[in-house]
Structure 1
Amino acid sequence: MHKTLDKLYAGIGEAGTGRSGVGELCALAALSANLYTLVCVAPWLDEEYGSAGELRRRIRKVAAALVCRLERETDDLERVRGVNALFVLSNTAAEYEQKMLDLAEPVLGRYEAGRLTAEAALFEAEVCRMMCNCYCLVQDEALAADARTIISGWTAVSPSGTEGLPVGVALARCEAAAAYADYTGDERFRAVRSAGDYGTEEPETICRMLELHLRCGAVSDAEALCDRIEQDAATGTDRTSQVYRLAAKAACELLRIKDAGFSE
């Protein structure tokens, strides 16, 4: 596994330079965070995945690459997705918290001014999640209020907030609502949720669904996804799909190890 991981991280380059795009770096962020958590819980796996210290170094390498890439990113949607991934990494690499906030600020300014360059529904969901992530760091009530306004708009249309939406938009809304509930303690919007199986085998979607189920305590749904991952016929052979598949498998391994302590 070490050789596989080395190969996947090789494209990052030194000092945050390299060929990796935002999508691949987001996948590497998910993999890095999941492996770090896994090894912290099960340190006997360090021979397979690397020590906690080695994984922290990988996290910082991915974070540096994301910052470098996002500083020159002109697409607002890609920028927001990258900022949200950087937030996940900042949980371990705290020195990137301020950089994450700095990168978020201009996008929030354009959002408030109504100057959106990305597809509106997906961007709104991703930026709502970014607001929640920023709120988690700075406790600015204005951010929570803006996120609450957005989510209230979703639930005003349908109780689930996701009915009839494309997979990507529905999943992004679920992630934003879960972040809002986690960081504000306001449970009213836990109702914004997926209707269940999206019927997709795309590794990124499965990985994100799995993490969402775990975040919301839907362990049986997470276990069902893990069963699908175990039977995965390796759909998607590009680097990003490979990384998301490994990230999902790491989350499943963590679930199995901690299974006795999980309950819905």
Structure 2
Amino acid sequence: MGNKREIAESRIPELNTYMKRLLGLPTWLLLDEALRMFFYQTDQDSQHLPRALRRLRPPTRKVKTVKPKMDRFSSPRAEAIFDFRGNGKAELNLKKGEVIFLLQRVNTDWLEGTVNNQTGIFPQSFVKIIKPLPESDSEGEGGGPSYSCLRCFLLTPSGVHTRDVCVQEDLTIQPTYKDLLSRMRNVFKVDDIAVNYRDPEGDLVRILDDEDVQLMIRESRGQRGTVQRPVNQFPWELYVTSASNLSVYNAGA
């Protein structure tokens, strides 16, 4: 209210990222009375169990109907710690205490599994993992993990501006140079920019083509054990500078 429409729309990605992070918290935290009172309008509303507080179902995924061979002692599986009522045929109905056999990870928030001869997807926060999926099964379509948040920095003479960009699954784990450049121009509303990343020594490296992007990705994989990031955040970060500013680079390298 009182703001221009474009100002309000520019805030949507950040608000969306905030809400996803909030809903990504453990379910027991979402039951906290103070948090529920903050988001509900009346005292009566706050008495309802937060059944609707579940993450958005991935819109681009289709649930496969399969009958896996189950081995109760070796199969990846989880135990429901809360009741969950699915929204439509694609989502499983879970009861507390049920064991769900895991088929695959849909994204960072949702799993696919089978219980009571039914196959579907469900939010991970409603279950306790007993035996996790193999690492190779934790990858989404296209041969890479599914990420929804990209951290980027704009370096200016006045300081560093940090942004966590919600990419809505339209940015793959191996994007092109043109994709990154276009996205950063849109995020920071600046055209004359250069896109960079930090190498293992901490120096900025300018990205000029797709081969540089591949190098950035390879180096980020080598730092997985030393750099802790949220599970939904890309393993690499972007640093945006003015295209004409060469002072940010290590001249002695």
TM-score (norm 1): 0.26
Higher RCO (C-alpha under 8 Å, 6+ residues apart): 1
**Higher share in helix:** 1
**Higher share in strand:** 2
Bigger CA radius of gyration: 2
